[in-house]
Structure 1
């Protein structure tokens, strides 16, 4: 009798509090047309957590200078990676969604921080299906002001303004989770060429001041603190988390540290960004005897412009021009089945937390 009653209560709760998953990625222009790229860059670069100047100075820089020339150049770059299905980032995220949907019993939608489908669009699709409790998954392994933080802030803004009755449970950065490290290491191992002189971990760069801004402990010095055990700033420090991923992966793979390097890409403007820079490293290491290079970009889980064009095309040219001979880009996790299992596990953990509230 009690068991039957308990089942009825659980069934009632499932009906009243219906759950769903929202996967959130960076975003992409609607097309490779210059105007679409300009619209996308305007939304992206005017985000105060991407370019953290006061609004007037940000507007002068972005709308007064960058958007005058960069959209045309970026549009040409997007054309080199665009597929028949559309933007690689959107297409891959959709594939992740479809594979995950087959493994879970709740609705799964996607949203992008910039452009469409937006975070609001994704939440609305879930709400239209009766969802009241959402697990929102920012698809970034490491924490940064310009990635995880801006996604959560945007989602909260949308929730408060448009969907005040729903609850959102956010998946936190998973850079140090064993299931993720195992997944990444296995993926790299399968794709790593037999003969390589060095394995380069290239992470998306951020201005150094972002590291200080996201540190509520005021203990970060961008020096030895990254390797200090149990430093309270680690949970907010993008730099530490990048090195932590690298060290965990090379330990898992049994690679000697002297064959591995960490660099940072995609810097913008003249501000001091995290070093060493990927492009400068690629231009110089060939002359230092590194002829066979493998490179991976673990700040991304989905291949996009920054990996398919900036690294696979421009980076390769820089390496070869600098004296290198063989350049091997290792793709992101994309929609690999083992990665989908990681996504499933992380989402289910947060889904289960709703029952504990």
Structure 2
């Protein structure tokens, strides 16, 4: 079999125009694994309410962080792809779950190169319904309909993989070199609490009560909350962070249903009000900087922190296309390709 790799990230609007942002939000929010309500209710919420107000606001936010080359998320993901491609011997394509380049176009590009076995690599360290799962479901649907002779191998969530923890920790350490940090906040993208319970393969373990994430269970393989706290724990241990000098929070909530807590915005304001002067925020749910890291954290949260009494705010860059991270991804790809060659020999 001829092998190839598909890197998959979240996605971005094609431009900062309100029309393109509306199209992107329509595709994103109508995903049943993002807003997991019955279709008619979801359509009413998204098309009847959100798309009448949010696109203009989101377009303005995208304009704040847009680069001359395009969306930072897309540009950084392409740089990652290019670097990785130069280090491996199999074809590497890039796709986005929402927007362009699409998963179908990425699989088509691999198919055109004769690829029949694909390593599908969702670029999410932690597993969640609204990220990894929706990628896998859509990719499988496209495979069945368009590329039935292809086979997939899935890269599991790598939230606790030693290589990832090392690269993330070292990138944070480098960013903190010239920053007199008082506190490190690990801010992850939020999800509704019900998503955690829906992803519980045991149907009984996850109670979101402060103890279940620390109690060993098969549920942890697909528990976003556990995986976020575990990433924080391992990075803090690697960096030697003192207890009481770091914590975990969740950002970007939508609607009135309970989402994972504590909330990032309230946490940042509270830290400033308690006398924390120099705050560093890390966003380990993302491997590439995007709207949520550059605007929501780097601009809005930074402003709020200082408004509440803080002084210095550092938004730590994501791994992006850092050399060590690219080497790690390339090594994972080579290990997969080599193992398959061995098994087929």
TM-score relative to the length of structure 2: 0.97
Match of 1:313 among 293, 299, 311: 299
Instruction: Measure the CA separation in 2 of the matches of 1:347 and 1:153.
Output: 22
Instruction: Measure the CA separation in 1 of the matches of 2:336 and 2:129.
Output: 22
1:170 touches 1:350 (CA, 8 Å); kept in 2? Answer: no
Match of 1:199 among 179, 184, 190: 184
The count of aligned residue pairs is 340
Match of 1:88 among 50, 67, 72: 72
Instruction: Measure the CA separation in 1 of the matches of 2:336 and 2:121.
Output: 10
Instruction: Measure the CA separation in 2 of the matches of 1:194 and 1:318.
Output: 19
RMSD: 1.0
What's the CA shift string for 1:126-165, capped at 9, x where partnerless? 1011111111100000000001100000100000011001
Instruction: Measure the CA separation in 2 of the matches of 1:351 and 1:171.
Output: 12
Q: How is 1:224-235 mapped onto 2 (pairs within 5 angstroms)?
A: 224-228=211-215, 230-235=216-221
Match of 2:144 among 160, 167, 172: 160
Deviates more, 1:118-127 or 1:281-290: 281-290
- The structural deviation recorded for 1:196 is 1.4
Report what 1:5 is aligned to.
Answer: none
Instruction: Measure the CA separation in 1 of the matches of 2:284 and 2:307.
Output: 25
- Classify the secondary structure of the residue corresponding to 1:300: coil
- The structural deviation recorded for 1:329 is 0.8
Unaligned stretches of 5+ residues in structure 1: 1-16
Match of 2:311 among 311, 318, 325: 325
Match of 2:263 among 256, 277, 284: 277
Report what 1:263 is aligned to.
Answer: 249
- Classify the secondary structure of the residue corresponding to 1:298: coil
- Classify the secondary structure of the residue corresponding to 1:258: coil
Unaligned stretches of 5+ residues in structure 2: none
TM-score relative to the length of structure 1: 0.94
Instruction: Measure the CA separation in 2 of the matches of 1:265 and 1:340.
Output: 27
- The structural deviation recorded for 1:347 is 2.1
- The structural deviation recorded for 1:194 is 4.1
- The structural deviation recorded for 1:257 is 1.8
Q: How is 1:42-57 mapped onto 2 (pairs within 5 angstroms)?
A: 42-57=26-41
Instruction: Measure the CA separation in 1 of the matches of 2:163 and 2:224.
Output: 20
- The structural deviation recorded for 1:55 is 0.3
